[in-house]
Amino acid sequence: MAKEVQTDQAKGPEHVAIIMDGNGRWAQMRGRPRLFGHHAGARRVREIVEACPAQGVKYLTVFAFSTENWKRTQTEVAGLMKLFRRYILRESRDLYESGVRVRFIGDRVRLDDKLVNLMDELELLTSGNDRVHLTIALNYGGRDEVTRAAKRLAYEIETGKLSYKDVDAETLSRFLDTHVLPDPDLVIRTSGEARISNFLLWQSAYSEYEFIDTLWPDFTAEEFARVVGSYGARDRRFGAVKV
Ligand code: FPP
């Protein structure tokens, strides 16, 4: 049966998620090592976070390292891990002072203790902030997240805290890394690839997608504003028929 759905497109997306792709190609085009591109990419993250309030974007989620990225060379993986540690050390104060609340999603088990400690500290430091909610996906994979959630849910059932009869989409969502976040309204992927690559699989069931040709290190606040602005022209119905 047709269901009336209220959509508030004029407001723009509240939650934007980004697959930051193209760092490697950006560096290679300049004859530089791939890590040079990742460093340039990290600088863009800050610019885009800063651009969020003016666009009415309250939640920004970025894909920094996937569960599949471990397959890259040891040099690149180690360089990225070092970059994440340095990023947190260098940016913490500024993020805190500019009202950004930082969260990390993904499986921390495989990350080194030094990095995990820095992640915990930054989450704690910024936990009182509410201007922009920045979520960094680190060792994150959508299937891995749903699998970990299912495991925890199964444990609750096995230990008698839940009945299998209680299991529905809402219950499972509570076990996801993203349980405190709204679903993304808009997912942007840079660098011309039109794939989801295991990013927020469950949460993006009704998200709009924008695939942009620009390589991530070239993705400016102006382009972000344009892409976010174009979202207002869309008509999301969440599977229902607009009447
Ligand atoms: C994909 O580009 C990018 C990554 C795997 C790493 C993303 C990391 C950053 C943008 C920097 C750090 C971020 C934070 C939050 C500190 P690619 O290497 O796959 O590019 P390619 O497709 O051109 O090879």
pLDDT in tens, 83-132: 999 999 999 999 999 999 999 999 999 999 999 999 999 999 999 999 99
Q: The dihedral of CA 223, 64, 13, 234: what is its sign?
A: positive
Pocket test for ligand 1, best of 18, 20, 111 (most atoms within 8 A of CB): 20
Residue bearing the CA closest to ligand 1, atom 12: 42
d(CA 101, CA 124): 9
Which residue reads 């609340």 in tokens?
101
Sheet holding 15-19, edge to edge: 100-105, 132-140, 59-66, 15-19, 186-189, 208-211
Give residue 3's pLDDT band: very low, low, confident or very high (50, 70, 90): very low
Is the backbone of residue 124 left (phi > 0), alpha (psi -120 to 50) or beta? alpha
Pocket test for ligand 1, best of 38, 71, 198 (most atoms within 8 A of CB): 38
Ligand 1 centroid–CA 19 distance in Å is 9
- In the predicted structure, residue 1 carries a pLDDT above the cut 70: no
Give the nearest ligand 1 atom to 39 CA: 11
Residue bearing the CA closest to ligand 1, atom 18: 24
Position 102 scores a pLDDT of 98
Position 241 scores a pLDDT of 67
Q: What residues pair up with 189 in beta bridges, in sequence order?
A: 19, 211
- In the predicted structure, residue 235 carries a pLDDT above the cut 70: no
Closest C-alpha among 56, 42, 61 to residue 200: 61
Q: Which residues are catalytic?
A: 21, 69
DSSP 148-164: HHHHHHHHHHHTTSS-G
Residue bearing the CA closest to ligand 1, atom 8: 64
CB 19 within 8 A of CB 227: no
Give residue 203's pLDDT band: very low, low, confident or very high (50, 70, 90): very high
Ligand 1 centroid–CA 137 distance in Å is 12
Ligand 1 centroid–CA 216 distance in Å is 8
**Of the candidate ranges 46-60, 86-100, 202-216, 227-241, the one whose mean pLDDT is the lowest:** 227-241
Q: Which residues line ligand 1 (CB under 6 A)?
A: 20-25, 34, 38, 41-42, 45, 62, 64, 69, 83-84, 87, 136, 191, 216
CB 78 within 8 A of CB 126: no
Give the nearest ligand 1 atom to 136 CA: 15
- In the predicted structure, residue 165 carries a pLDDT above the cut 70: yes
Position 218 scores a pLDDT of 98
Q: What is the pTM of this model?
A: 0.93
Position 5 scores a pLDDT of 36
d(CA 137, CA 107): 9
Give the nearest ligand 1 atom to 193 CA: 22
d(CA 219, CA 48): 9
Chain segment 21-74, per-residue pLDDT in tens: 999 999 999 999 999 999 999 999 999 999 999 999 999 999 999 999 999 999
Domains and CATH numbers, the chain: 15-141+183-228 (3.40.1180.10)
Pocket test for ligand 1, best of 18, 19, 23 (most atoms within 8 A of CB): 23
Mean pLDDT of the chain, nearest integer: 94
Position 10 scores a pLDDT of 62
Give the nearest ligand 1 atom to 217 CA: 10
